[in-house]
Structure 1
Amino acid sequence: MPQGKIIKALSGFYYVLDKERIIQCRGRGVFRKNKITPLVGDEVVYQADNDKEGYILEVLERKNELIRPPISNVDVALLVFSAKQPDFSPTLLDRFLVLVEANHINPVICISKMDLIQDEKKKKELKQFVQDYEKIGYQVFEISTKMERTIQELRPVLEGRISVIAGQSGVGKSSLLNVLKPELELKTNDISTHLGRGKHTTRHVELIEIGGGLVADTPGFSSLEFIDIEASDLSYCFLEMRERSVDCKFRGCTHVQEPKCAVKEAVEKGEIPSYRYEHYLQFLEEIKDRKPRY
């Protein structure tokens, strides 16, 4: 039986990419009974009635899945944050990073509108943030639509992978995509009309070929709440804490009040940026205060 990848889901139809052709498929009736919902990004086994239509017989095992946006098997999350307008927010970036790490997706940080920073003090502050995140182990790209070369440098990150783009409104996500694939003609600060997502049309997730990979046409994470993350797992979503937690005296150390905590020692020595630790404590309280779900 042939296999392919779902690149679009719309009105009960799943559009399966198999090499060069796209087959419009319906799911098997048994999927609903077994509570299986095929997602964009799924690798599937299908049966083709002809060159254009068929049925999905089986959804293969996923390596990850997101609920909002509904997509699976994501390799990379491009987290786009602007240097200015809106101002760079390390708190919001860390929130995104936690959500991405929790879903076992590789985050890549893009700081856009670098050309807008003229103030030397602000420039120095931003460079320090870049160095901090690179030291942790993240790829950081400083980009500007006025310097197209900086955006083209992202292509190797996208190649051969499924990527999602996330970030605040107005940070330049559409501008970035327009440079990578001009024929998209996405309106900046507007909804994509090219892909049928106007105000009165059905919103859907679609994978489009960009830079040798597939990029999700989606607004990114519509929920930034830590719904599925437990307090005991939070430190594993901070790479520098994950590495050091093995050296804590107590197993299951929360890095708050326990003695001989390797994470707190690293913060005191300046090896972990204090703002990262403060964000950890803030997020930990948020998770603890979360109302239980039944």
Structure 2
Amino acid sequence: MIDGIITKGIGGFYYVKTDEVIYECRARGKFRKEQITPLVGDKVKITIDSSTKQGVIEEIIKRDTEFIRPPVANVNQAIIVFAVKKPDPNLVLLDRFLVMAENEDVDVVVCFNKIDLDEKYLLELKKIYTCAGYPVVSTSVKNKIGIDTFKDILRDKITVFAGPSGVGKSSLLNETQPNLALKTGEISEKNKRGKHTTRHVELLELDFGGWVLDTPGFSSLNLDFIEEDQLQFLFREFVPYIGSCKFSGCKHLNEPKCAIKEAVLHNTINKSRYESYIQLLKEINQKRRY
């Protein structure tokens, strides 16, 4: 059997990159019986039909990580990309992405793109997320700012590259490695949202070492799989205060002498991050009722 990695999956076909070539493969029926769906990023073992040069996925190596949305495996780094303007950043959506990445225990970098459009707001955004404990990179494809730093972050990692449509993910990747030739979208003047340009999840190999997953844009992310009492641990800056509240089962909502609410009052936890926590917690509770 030949070792490879799934770089793309479309219509029941999986494209597996080996040392020498990419093979179009089908998956064995046993995976369907076991309710296992091969994912982009899966390390697999395949056999090749010498007459057709097509392959069959025989084995999926145990995954180190698995994202639900985007559906990818074995990522060891997530870069969450938002624009400072056009479209304006939805910070609750950004925090959803961060919660998902924290849940998978991967390294996370926050990237603010299009920084030439609003440098003042950039400083505010950087403060929020550096204080929350995240590395932040600032980029502008138009002015060629931060591209080398961005490249260094990608080097020798398997990176999921995520964020809503229109923030410039594909433009950033194209600037990093022009021969990727990814489609870039325009911003709709009507609602300032990006047009979807990436139609499927695809693993892209980088000439300077590493892989990136260019993923479709999302307007919402479902956090049904996260338990109510688990959410607080997925906000990095909350963790030092957990256990210091008056009540052991404190949800950090209306309880008195809550260490996290006091940290918000003293600006050691940013108010927008706390508000995201409250909104996400309420959504999880509402879904649980049904």
Could you say which TM-score interval applies, normalised by the shorter chain?
0.7 to 0.9
The answer for the alignment partner of 2:88 in structure 1 is 87
Q: Is the 8 A contact 2:42 2:60 kept in 1?
A: yes
Q: Is the 8 A contact 1:68 1:223 kept in 2?
A: no
Following the alignment from structure 1 to structure 2, what is the Cα–Cα distance between the partners of residues 14 and 185? 21
The answer for the alignment partner of 2:139 in structure 1 is 143
Task: Give the 5 Å matches for 1:1-294.
Answer: 1-50=1-50, 52-117=53-118, 123-189=119-185, 203-210=199-206, 211-221=208-218, 223-290=220-287, 292=289
What do residues 164-217 of structure 1 show as CA deviations (whole Å, max 9, x unaligned)? 222222211221122012123334216xxxxxxxx9xx9432211135221123
Query: What TM-score, normalized to structure 1?
Result: 0.84
SS of the aligned residue for 2:159 comes to strand
Q: Is the 8 A contact 1:4 1:46 kept in 2?
A: yes
Q: Which amino acid letter does the alignment assign opposite residue 182 of structure 1? A: P
Aligned length: 281
Of 3-12 and 256-265, the range deviating more from structure 2: 256-265
Q: Is the 8 A contact 1:64 1:73 kept in 2?
A: yes
Q: CA deviation at 1:236?
A: 1.4
Residue ranges of structure 2 left out of the alignment (5+ in a row): 187-195
Q: Is the 8 A contact 2:112 2:122 kept in 1?
A: no
SS of the aligned residue for 1:154 comes to helix
SS of the aligned residue for 2:230 comes to helix
Q: Is the 8 A contact 2:93 2:220 kept in 1?
A: no
SS of the aligned residue for 1:115 comes to helix
Identity of aligned residues (%): 48
Following the alignment from structure 2 to structure 1, what is the Cα–Cα distance between the partners of residues 247 and 61? 40
* Cα pair distance change 1:168/1:220, threshold 3 Å: closer
Q: CA deviation at 1:270?
A: 1.5
Q: CA deviation at 1:229?
A: 1.8
Residue ranges of structure 1 left out of the alignment (5+ in a row): 118-122, 191-198
* Cα pair distance change 1:149/1:115, threshold 3 Å: closer
* Cα pair distance change 1:203/1:88, threshold 3 Å: closer
Following the alignment from structure 1 to structure 2, what is the Cα–Cα distance between the partners of residues 174 and 282? 30
Query: What TM-score, normalized to structure 2?
Result: 0.85
Following the alignment from structure 1 to structure 2, what is the Cα–Cα distance between the partners of residues 213 and 6? 14
Q: Is the 8 A contact 1:68 1:222 kept in 2?
A: no
Q: Is the 8 A contact 1:132 1:273 kept in 2?
A: yes
The answer for the alignment partner of 2:191 in structure 1 is none
The answer for the alignment partner of 1:120 in structure 2 is none
RMSD of aligned residue pairs (Cα, Å):
2.8
Q: Is the 8 A contact 1:160 1:213 kept in 2?
A: yes
Q: CA deviation at 1:241?
A: 0.8
Q: CA deviation at 1:292?
A: 4.5
Q: Which amino acid letter does the alignment assign opposite residue 279 of structure 2? A: Q
Q: Is the 8 A contact 2:252 2:261 kept in 1?
A: yes
Q: CA deviation at 1:81?
A: 1.2
Q: CA deviation at 1:249?
A: 4.2
Q: Is the 8 A contact 1:165 1:219 kept in 2?
A: no
Q: Is the 8 A contact 1:236 1:242 kept in 2?
A: yes
* Cα pair distance change 1:235/1:153, threshold 3 Å: same
Q: Which amino acid letter does the alignment assign opposite residue 286 of structure 2? A: D
Following the alignment from structure 2 to structure 1, what is the Cα–Cα distance between the partners of residues 170 and 70? 17
Following the alignment from structure 2 to structure 1, what is the Cα–Cα distance between the partners of residues 114 and 214? 21
